[in-house]
Amino acid sequence: MKKCQFTGIIVRVFADSGRAADENPGWGSRDRGLLYVLREQRPETAEATEAFRRTGLFDVMKLIDDYNRVIDYVRISVTDRCNLRCRYCVDGDFPFIPHTEVLSYEEIIRFVRICASLGVRKVRLTGGEPLTRKDLPHLLKEIGAIEGITDISLTTNGVLLADHLEELKEAGLKRINISLDTLRKDRFAWITCIDAFDRVIDGIKKASYAGLNPIKINTVIIKDFNDDEILDFVRIARKWDHEIRFIEFMPFGDMSLWKSTEIITSREIEEIIRREFELVPSLRPGKGPAKVFDIVGGSGRIGFISPVSSHICAECNRIRLTSRGMIRPCLFSDVEYDVKALMRSGKSDEEVKEFIRGVVKVKPERKLEMGAIRKCQRSLRNIGG
């Protein structure tokens, strides 16, 4: 790895670079590749592209941070509004953002287009509750059509899912994550403060019939609230052939329920499951932070996401865009960068691109501060979960 002195981009130099076929036959293709880098251009002809690709220098178009992590994934919160009031996510001190402060669809699309030109391939829409925002399928479709974006997905609480499934599918949605923390109607009403359990279950079933499989269900396990349902969730994974992803309870939001004593680690959850079920590393592990297992003798899968107990920062490939238009390079750091102000002040795509590059470069190496995770000021509703 070498840093390009003009652009500050990390350049991966390959020893076996071939020869470029076009106008400067005396040049090695690595030199030609560097030229494209310095001009920040993509090669224009198919031959030039191929010559460039052979050099390995294609990589320099990517967003790479100071710890050599390639950022190719953006999670976008399209709204801070939510139709549930989950006790661990509500945040009395942070009222809803005025509509004028929320990024417009045009601004989100522009941001994704610029990120795609920097190598971002994957986008997830989240919130707040993304389905409470009008015309979400339109946004999905527009993002899906951006050159370079190969994967677009949605995280939802499922309450409005059944009503929007057809449009979402038509807009190109192929994958979905649905949040559900309990299989008991009374507990659902208590934790979310809304009586919508049946609608969520209906949404999950309809999404499955509509072919958005395998459906991933995100479940936050909280001591003395739903830790007695861990095995019920595994049975549901087998019965419905879904992936249940147990997420450790994270320290967000000043007003919320979180206390370190209420965390149950992935390891503890896994131990409970293994008393009754045999788990083997999945043949389809996926690329994200989840450690995924198949359940021996049945369908469905179990994933563990351990942001609190394990060190997944070295593999982190993402940045977040909040509904307020701030880039948040690390979920666990409250430091955010205002890209909305830049876009609204008439800056060019090139200037916004430079800004994004700069933000990625200062992405913290690890989430731990002084050896411990500190509680983040805002809830995930504000950040985008």
* Shortest Å distance, C-beta 290 to ligand SAM: 13
Q: With CB under 6 A as the contact rule, which of the stretches 114-122, 125-133, 184-192, 279-287 interacts with ligand SAM?
A: 125-133
Q: With CB under 6 A as the contact rule, which of the stretches 52-60, 94-102, 123-131, 198-206 interacts with ligand SAM?
A: 123-131
Cα pseudo-dihedral 163, 81, 313, 242, rounded to 10: -20
| Nearest CB to ligand SAM, comparing residues 29 and 306 | 306
Q: With CB under 6 A as the contact rule, which of the stretches 63-71, 207-215, 248-256, 344-352 interacts with ligand SAM?
A: 248-256
Return d(Cα 25, Cα 48) in angstroms, integer: 12
* Shortest Å distance, C-beta 232 to ligand SAM: 17
Q: With CB under 6 A as the contact rule, which of the stretches 56-64, 245-253, 280-288, 292-300 interacts with ligand SAM?
A: 245-253
Q: Is 165 in the site for ligand SAM (CB under 6 A)?
A: no
List 295's β-bridge partners, or say none: 279
* Shortest Å distance, C-beta 300 to ligand SAM: 19
Q: Is 156 in the site for ligand SAM (CB under 6 A)?
A: yes
Return d(Cα 208, Cα 375) in angstroms, integer: 36
Return d(Cα 232, Cα 319) in angstroms, integer: 34
For residue 127, which of 167, 92, 150, 97 has the smallest C-alpha distance? Answer: 97
Single residue of 136, 250, 313, 352 touching ligand SAM by CB under 6 A: 250
Q: With CB under 6 A as the contact rule, which of the stretches 17-25, 55-63, 150-158, 351-359 interacts with ligand SAM?
A: 150-158
Q: Is 132 in the site for ligand SAM (CB under 6 A)?
A: no
Q: Is 215 in the site for ligand SAM (CB under 6 A)?
A: no
Residue 347: exposure state from Cβ atoms within 10 A (0-12, 13-18, ≥19): middle
DSSP H or E segment with residue 262:
none
Single residue of 43, 288, 289, 385 touching ligand SAM by CB under 6 A: 385
Q: Is 171 in the site for ligand SAM (CB under 6 A)?
A: no
Return d(Cα 319, Cα 63) in angstroms, integer: 11
For residue 258, which of 294, 222, 306 has the smallest C-alpha distance? Answer: 222
- What character string, x for contact with ligand SAM (CB under 6 A) and - otherwise, covers 82-101? x-----xx------------
Of how many residues is the chain composed?
A: 385
DSSP 283: S
Single residue of 129, 229, 243, 294 touching ligand SAM by CB under 6 A: 129
Single residue of 33, 43, 56, 127 touching ligand SAM by CB under 6 A: 127
For residue 248, which of 217, 233, 269 has the smallest C-alpha distance? Answer: 269
* Shortest Å distance, C-beta 156 to ligand SAM: 5
* Residue 45, CA distances (Å) to 33, 48, 248 in order: 13, 5, 48
| Nearest CB to ligand SAM, comparing residues 36 and 258 | 258
Q: Is 173 in the site for ligand SAM (CB under 6 A)?
A: no
Say how many residues touch ligand SAM, by CB under 6 A. Answer: 20
* DSSP code string of 96-161: PPPGGGSPPHHHHHHHHHHHHHTT--EEEEESS-GGGSTTHHHHHHHHHTSTT--EEEEEE-STTH
- What character string, x for contact with ligand SAM (CB under 6 A) and - otherwise, covers 291-330? ----------------------------------------
For residue 73, which of 243, 288, 285 has the smallest C-alpha distance? Answer: 288
Return d(Cα 321, Cα 110) in angstroms, integer: 12
Binding residues vs ligand SAM (CB under 6 A): 82, 88-89, 126-127, 129, 155-157, 179, 218, 220, 247, 249-250, 252, 258, 380-381, 385
